[in-house]
Amino acid sequence: MDQKTVRRNMVLHIIDGVLFITAMTFMDQFTIMVSFMKQVFDNSFVLSLVPASIVIGFNFPGLFTSWFAKRAAKRKIYIAIMGFLQRLMVFFLALTTYWILPLPATSGAAMVLSFYFLFAFMGGITFPAWIDLFAKTVPPKRRGRVTALRLSLASVVGIIVPLWMGPFLAANDFPGNYRVVFFIAFALVALSFVAFINIKEEGESPVSRQSFGEYIRDLLGLLLKKRFRHFILARFFFSFTFIAISFYTAYALKLFPSIDEREVAIFALLFNFSKAGFGYLLGYLGDRFNNLLVQKIGILAAVVSLVLVLLFPVIPVFYLLFVLIGITFSADSNALVVMIAEFGDEGSRISYTAVSSGIIGTSCGLIPVIMGMLISQGLVTYAGSFVIALVGSLISLVLFFRFSHED
């Protein structure tokens, strides 16, 4: 692939990512959607399903659908078909705002969560193929910075969005206020699709002729590789940090009933400010040194946030928490994509991605859901869940310090 095409693809990847990630700011699973769902059906278990829908939906399907992706010589066509269907789910999510008030709370919550989950699920179907296409169209020494630029530039926009969105949501009646927000999100993901379909994929990828049974045996065989198994185990314990990320907003709303959408928007602003400020720096560190360092920084930020929320649960500290989890999110977004891409070659990269995203995504999603159930039943407090998250994060940190880049 000539340098002009490489540069063009890199720019299109950045535009696609900036538009898509910006759209996610308008339906953020940790702030905006939690606030929206709290007004539809205020229940700890239901609120835990919001981030779980995104995490499980984006990660788990690839474990099984990668078999189809490996049989597609042109990865881009496969991704484009599912990407189009994925974006339709945002349109349907916006339409639900016309129907939720006349419906029982449980029915309204189920409808919203269904479209939100399907949006993530469609993305999860293509995630391993997208990782493969990304690695195929972006040179290794530029992947960290391209990934970081996508996140950082989107986060700059994400700093501005809450400044408008908070007052707008507070000043307008529910659910019409969220309807506008979700339709804006749809417009942005539609534009991101235009950027994606203009990425140029040269040549054909290796086509697998494995039966589905052989494919599953191949996936299980990857777990026998010591270095990869160590990576998966460390990432599993890192999943416990998602308890914190999932419940910080809900915990703040419980502790301080007087806060409204304006305060939630400030949380979102600080979260995006942190991603914008640290995203490119972490991407540079990953390219300059290694992404293992970036992963460690992200976990350390999560550990500090958990210690602070346990010792000092006051509003000013919550502001700092969203800065810290912004660092965690940026580090994880940069390091995970690049570290997975470094396992295997073009023929096996999809399989590594499928196992990684399937196991990691499921644990990241299910752990907060289980914890949400325990909290809603009064068996565990929010503070208790943060203690569990802290223990898991510390185990993950130790495992990553013992992880080696060498085979």
For the chain, which residues make up each domain, given as ranges? 3-197+212-401
139 three-state secondary structure: coil
Distance CA 399, CA 227 (A): 11
Residue 113 and residue 230 in contact, taking contact as beta carbons nearer than 8 Å:
no
pLDDT classification of 407: cutoffs 50, 70, 90: very low
- Length of the chain counted residue by residue: 407
Distance CA 82, CA 146 (A): 23
Residue 131 and residue 349 in contact, taking contact as beta carbons nearer than 8 Å:
yes
Is pLDDT at 197 greater than 90 in this prediction? yes
Residue-wise pLDDT tens digits, 91-145: 999 998 888 877 787 888 889 899 999 999 998 888 878 888 888 888 877 887 8
Is pLDDT at 405 greater than 60 in this prediction? no
CATH 1.20.1250.20 applies to domain 3-197+212-401: yes
Residue-wise pLDDT tens digits, 233-272: 998 898 888 777 778 888 888 888 887 767 877 887 888 7
Is pLDDT at 67 greater than 80 in this prediction? no
Is pLDDT at 356 greater than 70 in this prediction? yes
Q: What is the DSSP letter of 332?
A: H
Q: Report which of 155, 398, 151, 402 is spatially closest to residue 299, judged by C-alpha positions.
A: 398
Distance CA 219, CA 72 (A): 18
Indicate the Cα dihedral angle 163, 164, 169, 170, nearest 10°: 60
Q: What is the DSSP letter of 140?
A: G
φ, ψ for residue 42, nearest 5 deg? -85, 95
Burial class (CB in 10 A: 0-12, 13-18, 19+), 138: buried
Among residues of the chain, what percentage have pLDDT more than 70? 94
Mean pLDDT, the chain, as a whole number? 84
Distance CA 237, CA 305 (A): 16
Residue-wise pLDDT tens digits, 29-38: 877 888 888 8
pLDDT classification of 347: cutoffs 50, 70, 90: low
153-177: average pLDDT: 84
Contacts within 8 Å (CB) and 24+ apart, 258-262: 259/315, 260/170, 261/35, 261/165, 261/166, 261/169, 261/170, 262/166, 262/167, 262/170
Which of the two residues, 161 and 182, has the higher pLDDT score?
182
Residue 363 and residue 357 in contact, taking contact as beta carbons nearer than 8 Å:
no
358-380: average pLDDT: 80
Is pLDDT at 306 greater than 80 in this prediction? yes
pLDDT classification of 203: cutoffs 50, 70, 90: low
